Every structure is written in structure tokens, then in C-alpha cells.
Structure 1
Amino acid sequence: MHATVESWLSKTREELDEIYRNAKPGELPTGDTRGTAILAGSLLSKLVAAFARLFAWQGKVFDIFAEDGRAGVLINKITPFSLSFIVAKVYRDNSWMDGKETIVIDYSKTSFFAKVIRDEIREVEPGVYLGKVWWGKKRILDFALTRKQDE
């Protein structure tokens, strides 16, 4: 696990929110990324992250297709076999958290199962993204993405 992401596992939700607010959107990720679910403020966050990676969600594969690098699609890798499932649109827009620019992962028009989910990510350091998961307008979880070559 990337050292920055490992340090996030022991942070509170407020500390992660502060990191997110201070980050710029950065570059849209491309290719295969490794995902880490973060249950902020929990003593079990490392266990939850390991369990989620093993049995539920391993990350996302991004395909940025706009010529200006501002939009694309992704597919989530889920199950212990990293099956590609649940497509989303990727684009830049304003964050629901602070109104500043962010990278949005939008499932509303691409997935029956996840249409109420919206993810937002910002690049905290090169190849390392901190994300927020929204269920409708309620934030439910934090997560990290790292580019495979940056681990």
C-alpha cells in the first residue's frame, strides 16, 4: 500500500476533509488504479480496507477520451477476481463538498445499480487521489486511488 494512503487510514473524517479541500483536482487518472476504501475515524479502518480490497472493490480503470483530457469513462474492479463492472462517466465539475473544481465520477446515467452514487476525487500528490463517495446528497465514505506504477 502507498505510504500516503496508509497514513490516511488513521485519520478522522475531518482531517481527510481538510486534505481534500486543500488539494487541486489534478490530472484525470488514466489506466488501472488501485483502490482503498477508508472508513475514517474507525479503529477498524485498516481491517475494513483490507477486507474491501480482498472481497469487494479493488479500484478503477480509467479511459480518458476527450482530446483536452477533461472527460472519459471508467469501470470499477470488483469481487475477489477484479471483474470489471459498473461503468461511470468522468469529468470536471464543482465539488458538492466545497464548490471548488474536482474530478467527478458519475454513475447516474451509466449504471442501474449505482445511479444514486457520485464520487469526487482530487490528486493530493502525483498519482495519489483522495475521494469522497456520495449516496444522493449524503456523503458516506472516503477512498483512495493510486496509479499502479506509483505504488
Structure 2
Amino acid sequence: MHATEQRSNSAPSARSTRTYTADSLQQLDSDALLAVYRGASTPRLTDASGDMSGKLVMICGVKPPLAAWLSDFVRETNTWAGKTFSLRDDRRGEGYNRMLNDARQRFHFDSFIGRSRAGDFDALHLDYDRPENPFFARHVADEMREVSPGLYLGQAYVRILGKLRLVCYFSLVK
């Protein structure tokens, strides 16, 4: 069985004790989000197909009072609507980001299952290092795990001075 065909629950599932929604994830602090992420399962590539609605959950890397204010501000002014996924084959996929009031496809990515940056488990990776993307988007690498059926929690990383740094959590709903 290919890694893309199986679900991995290598950490105790955070979903077994609580049901989350995209809105309830926004109420959690960074430690709780990391615990939920680590306890989630690795989606199959086929699970992540089609359109998914997206929400910013939390900005990372800034002090808690500023992080809450900045997260609220970005959520209010954000034009990101979500992501669209499609399969290339049983091991790789691709997709792009959708923006509100904009029919254009933005920030294309390649998708695959690989080792998470957040622990010793797999995640669905989104690699934006594609020639058609603007230079700043090519330094972004997302990964995501399934919190509950159809609800995904993602981590967005940006390469800064040669090192990938976690900059935010996001949610996607199928």
C-alpha cells in the first residue's frame, strides 16, 4: 500500500475527545493547535480533491497579544477563499489558491505525502516552488492533516534566511 493510500495516526488522536470546527480552531492558542495538529491524521491525496473553503486560524511567530490582534486583522481584511486540489497520479497532486472576488488561480502548488516538520508523522505537503509563482510565493511550503472528516488543519511555513519558519495555521473544509 502506498503512503498516499493510507491514513496515519501515529500520535494519539486529539479528535477522539473533542469535535472541532473551523471556527472552534480559531479559539485555540498555539500550543493547543500544535497538539490538535499532531493528533490529527494524514489525509490521502484522494481525500484532498476539489474545492475547499479556507480560513486563517492564527498568525505565528509574534507575541500572544499582538498575534491575536494581527490574526483578527488579517481575518477581517483577508481575500483568501481556499484551495483547489486535483490528482496527477496516485503519489502526487497539484492545486492553487482561490481568492474572493477574483476568478484567477493564484499561487499554484504541488502536493504529496511526506514527513511533517511538526513531528514524527506524515502530512500532506503543498510545495509552492513552481516557476509560474511570484518569487515570494516560491518560498512558501504548507502542510496539512485531517482533524475530522472533511476538516483539515494546516501549517504554513516561509523560508526566511534559508530556514523554514512556521508563520500561520489555517483550516480547510471540504
TM-score band, normalised by shorter chain: 0.7 to 0.9
CA distance in 2, matches of 1:84, 1:20: 27
Q: Does the aligned pair in 1 maintain the 2:84–2:95 contact within 8 Å?
A: yes
Query: Please, what TM-score do these two structures have when normalized by structure 1?
Result: 0.83
Query: Please, what TM-score do these two structures have when normalized by structure 2?
Result: 0.73
1:108 Cα deviation after fit: 1.6
Q: 2:170 aligns with which of 129, 143, 150?
A: 143
Counterpart residue identity of residue 49, structure 1: R
Give the match's secondary structure for 1:19: helix
Match of 1:87? 108
Larger gyration radius, structure 1 or structure 2 = 2
CA distance in 2, matches of 1:84, 1:50: 22
Instruction: Please state if 1:130 is matched with 2:149.
Output: no
Q: Does the aligned pair in 2 maintain the 1:27–1:123 contact within 8 Å?
A: no
Segments of 5+ residues of structure 1 without an aligned counterpart are none
Give the match's secondary structure for 1:115: helix
CA distance in 1, matches of 2:151, 2:115: 20
Which runs of at least 4 in structure 1 moved beyond 4 Å after TM superposition? Answer: 40-47
Match of 2:35? 18
Q: Identity over the aligned pairs, expressed in percent?
A: 26
Q: Does the aligned pair in 1 maintain the 2:80–2:97 contact within 8 Å?
A: yes
Summarize the alignment of residues 57-96 of structure 1 with structure 2, pairs less than 5 Å apart: 57-66=80-89, 68=90, 70-96=91-117
Aligned length: 140
Q: 1:112 aligns with which of 119, 134, 144?
A: 134
CA distance in 2, matches of 1:73, 1:60: 10
